[in-house]
Structure 1
């Protein structure tokens, strides 16, 4: 599988480590009244979708950047790749 890195161009997936659902870049508010429940859900509850899914990938064998990859889990077709920092900023949250 080839991941088209936004800064480095096409790279083999073996350079990357899959890190889970892209929603993980949005950490719960540790000061919230229900923070324990939020962090429990954050740490343990995951969807297992069939079809398009936003995922976190870490470029371990390269520039060590974090990416949000939108990939179809049934065909492995990648439809978009963005830097995770850009996604977090656009969605109003920090990484």
Structure 2
């Protein structure tokens, strides 16, 4: 079981949250100009690293706000939680689940 810290509500069990995919994926500036292949790449292709990975989560049974989590995919350790308007912390500076 993961312990995830909501930036607004504090630490909670992972059962209070829902995963929302990779964080920091920007919506295309001109989606109508994309080819079918480019649109498919935006919709379906995501990174799958072994190690620190930025993810989006929503506190669905709490404040219902979206935020980002930096999680190590090899160990499942939550390295940091941060609001959507905050920059992604560096993995070596994250220093635990805040």
- TM-score, reference length from structure 2: 0.76
Runs of 5+ unmatched residues, structure 1: none
Q: Which has the higher helix share?
A: 1
Q: Within 5 A, what are the aligned runs for 1:1-95?
A: 1-24=2-25, 26-30=26-30, 33-34=33-34, 36-84=36-84, 86-87=85-86
Q: 1:32 deviation in Å?
A: 6.7
Aligned equivalents of 1:19 and 1:43: distance in 2? Answer: 13
Aligned equivalents of 2:77 and 2:57: distance in 1? Answer: 15
The number of aligned residues is: 87
Q: 1:34 deviation in Å?
A: 3.2
Runs of 5+ unmatched residues, structure 2: 89-98
- TM-score, reference length from structure 1: 0.78
Q: 1:38 deviation in Å?
A: 4.0
RMSD: 2.1
